[in-house]
A and B are shown apart, each in its own frame.
Chain A
């Protein structure tokens, strides 16, 4: 019986879902406040449940659902991402008035889809988790108030997402047909027996596309800028954090399915990484909207992560997982600043940041640290994360890719510094209005900044965990 305690996070998710649902059943002016309380309490419950179940391992439902170091790392990251996103949403400013409470419910369903993906070791369950996570976001993105482009961005997200999901399924059908099983570990054995047949690689490549779409890697990137810009801040934060780290983790799991070193698939991934880094960084330079810039930076970061993945070694997968978690923390900090600087949920342009260091020194410092981490400036966590990624790729001889990555990281410092210039050097036009922060805001700012610094100086614990997680893939 005590074995079942390993499923505590999932149980907490169910309870949270019921709580939010009950809060939304009410029909008063306080409806969304109750929903928010329920989401916050539930998010904390899930987080605590994730921490309590650390170290357990368990397989259930005819070995289609596995709890191990890998799934626990991803679940903990998703729980943190969910909680931070709920916090960023706050009263749902910018969301349509009649859908301010629903945003919490759909964020929760998306988070539960991500958690199922983390634990599923069966291809169809994995696919269903992916769809649950995506469908909730398809609904959330168009629900932006006073932003007519939101619907169009939602449409783009939906069409590209559904197309990616159909391609994923086609790849899945080829893999199932070739191996005759839907369980990932049996599939790995069967694929090893088949060897690197072109059709198996083709199927795997197609199957990966749904996850590359979530990661926003070139050529699946073009939804990202529009969605980041058009979704309300909390939703964008969720897309940028929890959803990304799960995509990275699942790519590790799927790439470990078969021995692909030296095949066309690896070359294609390396090229996609190279283009993604270059394109993301170059286009980010000219952006004026902060969230749009973060979207292009996310495309570039997807490229860096893929540099670690193409190494196809244990080190590479651990580095990618490790960087995924670090990326979640720094991006969450950046989005928190965006959401708090924004007036009434409107988008934040570079000029809105002017004089931020006087209006709110804490937010300015948090933004500075988050951007330095994204750029990879030591001693922040971004530097050590990129170091591990590039080291893994270099030990497999990907010199040109690492060189390009290093050049790109240097280019990216430029546009991150533009933001810092606006926050620290340029004075605000007119009167400087201080940004009001609640106690929770301050605590989260300190927490995320501390995590960025501490993990940059002392990454051992988290990296060892990522390394253990990557040890027994798929």
Chain B
């Protein structure tokens, strides 16, 4: 297998995640899209380090660390979503548009 194939797949997955993040209006769906983006990074780092003849174990360790980071992100995100749901009984971002950035 060539690294280019994996690179293309990871970029595609990342793009799907980014599209979902911008497109979906539900907070949980946005969080899932973020997970897709992180998964793309893991695929990328494992595939590139293995297939280009570098130290493969390093890529795997990086991927494992990323799993931990993703779990922390989800925990913080979900706790904020619960707080928002308690206040406004909705997790649709359309109902939260009082601030103008």
A-side interface residues toward B, CB under 8 Å?
124, 128, 131, 135, 138-139, 142, 148-149, 151-156, 158-159, 162-163, 165-167, 169-170, 172-174, 176-178, 180-182, 222-223, 225-226, 229-230
Quick check: A173 and B44 within 8 Å, CB to CB?
Answer: yes
B48 surroundings in chain A (CB, below 8 A)? 173-174, 176-178
Instruction: Report 9 cross-chain contacts, Cβ distance below 8 Å, ordered by A residue.
Output: A124-B65, A154-B80, A159-B30, A166-B17, A166-B41, A169-B41, A173-B42, A173-B48, A180-B53
Within 34-69 of B, Cβ neighbours of A (below 8 Å) are at 34, 37-38, 40-42, 44-45, 47-49, 52-55, 58-59, 62, 65-66, 69
Q: B37: which A residues are within 8 A, CB to CB?
A: 163, 166-167, 169-170
**Contact partners of B49 in chain A: CB under 8 A:** 176-177, 180
B8 to chain A minimum Cβ distance, whole angstroms, is 13
Counting CB contacts under 8 A, is B1 at the interface?
Answer: no
For residues 81 through 101 of chain B, which have their beta carbon under 8 Å from a beta carbon of chain A? Answer: 83-84, 87, 93, 96-99, 101
* Interface size range of chain B in the complex: 35 or more
> Which residues on the B side are within 8 Å of A230 (C-beta)?
99
- Pair count A-B, CB < 8 A: 111
Contact B73 A173, beta carbon cutoff 8 Å: no
Complex contacts, B93 vs chain A, CB 8 Å: 155
Are B80 and A142 closer than 8 Å at their CB atoms? yes
Knowing A162-B73, A226-B101 are in contact, say whether A155-B80 is a contact too (CB < 8 A).
Answer: yes
In the bound complex, what is the Cα–Cα distance between A187 and B65 (angstroms)?
A: 20
Chain A residues with CB below 8 A from B59, complex form:
176-177
Is there an interface contact between A158 and B99, defined as CB atoms closer than 8 Å? Answer: no
Bound CA–CA A148/B97 (angstroms): 12
Contacts of B96 in A (CB 8 A): 151-152, 155
How far does the alpha carbon of A139 sit from the alpha carbon of B77 in the complex, in Å? 9
Give bound CA distance, A174 to B48, whole Å: 8
